[in-house]
Structure 1
Amino acid sequence: MTKRPIAIDLFAGCGGMSLGLEAAGFDVAVAVEFDAVHCLVHHFNFPYCHTICGDISQVKSAEILDQLQLKYGHTEVDLIAGGPPCQGFSHIGKRQLDDPRNSLVFEYLRMIAEIQPKYFIFENVPGIATGKHKRFLDEIITEFEGIGYQVKKPIKILDASEYGAPQKRKRLILIGSRFDVKMAEYPATNNSEIVTVYQAISDLEKIDHFTNYDPGISPAFLEYEGDRKKYSLVPSDSFSLCHKRSIEPTVYGHVGSVHTPLSIARFAKTPPGTIEPKSRFFKLSPTGLCNTLRAGTNSDKGAYTAPRPIHYSIPRCITIREAARLHTFPDWFQFHRTIWHGFREIGNAVIPILAKQLGGSVIDALGIDVNDLKSTTLAQVQRNLLSYNISQASTYWGIPDYVIPKRKRLR
């Protein structure tokens, strides 16, 4: 058997990119994430990965390389992936990478320069490629070329719905290849068949959603067939190369909000595929795609959940598990037990099925036959970690709980 190639996930969140890369055949050896709660969710889902909770500007590449040496006996990294937040452009005439608001992009570049992986994947919002922002993108590409990488051109903005996701979600992707390796290509799209909202979540509509608690659902009540095979509790279909998790045979996360009678009436009157006038929530169409799922605000901005779509046949907003399905997370993947954290994790995540296609392009460039790769069964992690608040999560990681700004409660 061929050893699985090694990947590092920067700005990892709960693990959308990590999951896609694992599904492509990688082992995600190290992940870096700033949010302590997201870090716990990543640790739960990827117990074999060394998850670092902290500000990337304080993370030394030597720490990452030491972990690789300890676990694998070498420091060769096949791929680094991540999407550093960008804060737009600064004043004309100023190099935008020097703008403090774009410091996270600089840290990403620093990690690539110091670790020198064979490949990198840089993902970001499509707006970075338009207007005055494009100047910033050109600077980033020039920097990558200056540290020994060729960036695949022309640069592409990929829509996850063209790669099997039942959601319209566009991301700018840079694929970089070290000058001494074969260049990786953009993955081919699959426009022959669009996966619809109904195909993704219709089996869940037969089960009443939970509001104040989450007892879970037996998989016997769900239908893992057709396009839904990939959501199975046992890694299969698109996720067949994933390691098997030691989890309960239960599907968690079919949890949603309690709506007022007035909201329920408005939701019921709204035609599928249109926006409900008062809430401005989009009502899903069973034969269409989900609109782009957003993360909502951080704690210091009021901890607001982003607008969630209305279910196409039930007058309520979608549940965490339905959102996860529309984002292509399988049912074995776990999220924080609260609605706010759970939806924030999904909205911030890279769509795993797109990440798998990107990782697959690198696997192809590496010349690896995925049939030679093996998976294993992972150790179980304490489930109560998924219910920790920010203070508990910060204590777990040994960091101050003021790192993530506290929620401002308005009087």
Structure 2
Amino acid sequence: MVFVDAFAGCGGLSLGLLQAGWRGLFAIEHDDFAFATLKANLVERQSAHKFAWPKWLPKEPIGIQSLLSKHGPALEKLQGTVDLLVGGPPCQGFSSAGRRWHDDPRNKLFSSYLKLVKLMKPKVVLIENVRGFTSDFETGANYASKLRTALAVDYDVHDALLDLSAFGVPQRRTRYFVLATSRSLGVKDPFKELKQELPSFLRSIGLQAPVSSKSAISDLETVRNGTQASRDTAGFLETKYKAPLTKYQKLMNAGVVHPADLRLARHNDEIADRFQQIIDLSHAEGRLNTSINEEVRTKFGLKKRALRVLDPDMPSPTITSMPDDLLHYAEPRTLTVRENARLQSFPDWFEFKGKYTTGGHLRRREVPRFTQVANAVPPLVARAIGEFLMKAMTAPKQRPKSAAKRSQQAAEFGAHL
């Protein structure tokens, strides 16, 4: 079963499908940093979980529009060989995490995605996006509705809002999914069937949902591990690492001795003291996993409204590309890239490339590590969907009996009465 990933980002969706036993042909990603991460982990790394990659496509960043213009004939030759086309067009213009831009050019990229669908004619199309993708903008444009209408010409189209914590991801993250299936497959209600399969999937990987934040990242606490000089950034410290503690941590760690992306933010004493007070107040007032209130903001002179303290006993809120949106549940600091990756269900062997953060006008042009993690489809979710789709697409179909056959059987049955 072969898939192609468009708008692949750092490769979370691809990784999950590869873990589910799918064969990846290639992935499309235009950002240098995100593609560097995908290439290092899913193209060049010696692993069973890697892309085959065709000779006609350079292993370098490319946008979907450039792909269509430069490699149209090669894509057309793939008709009949690609079972699944996946990908989530950039969501920044739809996301409720920041200001929405109804005219953001990235919102229009799903039109190019539809051109790719027409060209390759996959059996199944899987699209993931933020909840806001289903909302009407001031212009009245509802991109989810337009997408469903366009796909319905050739496919049976199904969509759903899914809480990804149900998949064992230690994060309350609701995302919009579309599954467009070839009519020949006869898939009736895939999302209902997927939810029915989740208990079996979770048992197969040794998890029970929901998974809490502490169960996901307690082995990464600096109090337990200590710190050392950062291995990839001079002047920074990083968390040392000892060993996993919980079932989820063991699943994510899988024997990795020195996980990457453990660099700690440089908080001065004043900031650390402020964070500790906010953490203590949030615990005392029972305001965990939710934005700090106006009283706390006034007390500490903060303008930021999105700041939240993790609840150790619950899945985290949706992580964002802003590294200072979440505070640790116990330690006076923001989270590391690795901790965010754990909350997204990335295994510890998966290493992120490029800058850690970016700012200003570059936020709309670069995808640094924190953003790569936040934008990704959690691999556990992709793995569950991949396993479900493989079963659904390979299961023998029961052919309806012909009228003549039914009449013959009815006559035979009557003769025995």
**Superposition TM-score, scaled by structure 1 size:** 0.72
How far 1:177 moved relative to its partner? 0.5
Q: Distance in 2 between matches of 1:359 and 1:198?
A: 28
Contact 2:15 2:379 in 1 (8 A): yes
- What is the CA-CA distance between 1:342 and the residue it aligns to? 1.6
Alignment of 1:194 with 2:200, yes or no, is no
Q: Does 1:352 align with 2:379?
A: yes
| Aligned mates of 1:315, 1:100 — CA distance in 2 | 39
Check conservation: 1:210, 1:254, Cα contact below 8 A. Answer: no
1:54 counterpart letter in structure 2: I
- Selected match of 2:36 from 29, 40, 58: 40
**Which residue among 151, 157, 160 is the counterpart of 2:157?**
151
Distance 1:61 1:331 in 2: 37
Equivalent position SS for 2:185: coil
Compute the displacement of 1:62 (Å): 8.2
Alpha-carbon distance in 1 for matches of 2:331, 2:104:
47
Deviation at 1:136, TM superposition (A): 3.2
Taking a change above 3 Å as real, the CA distance of residues 107 and 331 of structure 1, as seen in their structure-2 partners, is same
Report the Cα offset of residue 306 of structure 1: 4.4
How far is 1:210 from its partner?
Answer: 5.5
Change (3 A) 1:108 1:56: same
Q: Give the CA deviation at 1:64.
A: 8.0
Q: Contact conserved, 1:78 with 1:117, CA < 8 A, in 2?
A: yes
Q: What is the match of residue 55 of structure 1? A: 63
Structure 1 residue 225, shift from structure 2 partner: 4.1
Q: 1:217 to 1:261 in 2, by over 3 A?
A: closer
- Matched residue type, 1:223: P
Separation of aligned partners in 1, 2:63 and 2:169: 31
1:117 positional shift: 0.8
Percent identity between the two aligned chains: 28
Residue 253 of structure 2: aligned partner:
232
- Aligned equivalent of 1:111: 116
CA separation in 2, counterparts of 1:256 and 1:366?
45
Name the CA distance, whole Å, in 2 between partners of 1:165 and 1:42. 21
**Aligned-partner Cα distance in 1 for 2:239–2:42:** 23
Matched, 1:222 2:229: no
1:180 aligns with 2:188: no
Provide the rounded CA distance (Å) in 1 between the counterparts of 2:228 and 2:375: 23
> CA shift at 1:74, angstroms?
8.8
Q: Are residues 284 and 68 of structure 1, via their aligned partners in 2, closer, same or farther at CA, if it must alter by over 3 Å?
A: farther
Which amino acid in the other structure matches residue 217 of structure 2? Answer: I
Q: CA deviation at 1:289?
A: 1.9
Matched, 1:208 2:226: yes
**Residues 207-252 of structure 1 deviation map (CA, whole Å, 9 limit, x = unaligned):** 2355754498786x11254222221245xxxxxxxxxxxxx85211
Give the residue type in structure 1 aligned to 2:17.
Answer: L
Give, in whole Å, the separation in 1 of the partners of 2:227 and 2:268.
15
Q: 1:264 to 1:193 in 2, by over 3 A?
A: same
Task: Give distance in 1, aligned partners of 2:125 and 2:147.
Answer: 13
Q: Determine the structure 2 residue equivalent to 1:302.
A: none
2:314 to 288, 300, 323: 288
Matches within 5 A, 1:222-371: 222-223=243-244, 225-233=246-254, 249-270=257-278, 271-272=282-283, 273=288, 275-276=291-292, 277=297, 278=302, 279-280=304-305, 281-295=307-321, 305-336=322-353, 338-340=355-357, 341-367=368-394
CA distance 1:74–1:126, change in 2 (3 Å)? closer
**Equivalences, count:** 328
Which has the larger Rg?
2
Give the corresponding residue for 1:404.
Answer: none
State how far apart, in whole Å, the 2-side matches of 1:255 and 1:111 are: 39
Over the aligned positions, Cα root-mean-square deviation in angstroms equals: 3.1
Higher RCO (C-alpha under 8 Å, 6+ residues apart): 1
Return closer, same or farther for 1:64/1:25 CA change in 2, 3 Å cut-off: farther
1: CA distance, partners of 2:68 / 2:378: 28
Give the residue type in structure 2 aligned to 1:200. A
Contact 1:310 1:316 in 2 (8 A): yes
State the partner residue of 2:164. Answer: 160
Quote the Cα distance in structure 2 between the aligned partners of 1:228 and 1:288: 15
1:111 Cα offset (Å): 0.8
2:150 maps to amino acid? E
TM (normalized to structure 2)?
Answer: 0.71
Shift of the alpha carbon at 1:364?
1.6
User: Structure 2 regions of 5+ residues with no counterpart?
Assistant: 44-49, 54-58, 95-101, 200-207, 358-367, 397-417
CA contact (8 A) 1:217 1:250 kept: no
> Amino acid of the residue matched to residue 46 of structure 1?
L
In 2: Cα distance, 1:249 partner to 1:65 partner = 45
Q: 1:323 to 1:136 in 2, by over 3 A?
A: closer
Q: CA 1:222–1:337 in 2, change beyond 3 Å: closer, same or farther?
A: farther
Aligned residues of 1:6 and 1:79 also touching (Cα < 8 A): yes
Q: Given that residues 68 and 75 in structure 1 are in contact (C-alpha distance below 8 angstroms), is that contact kept between their aligned partners in structure 2?
A: no
Q: Residues 62, 117 of structure 1: CA spacing in aligned structure 2 closer, same or farther, 3 A cutoff?
A: farther
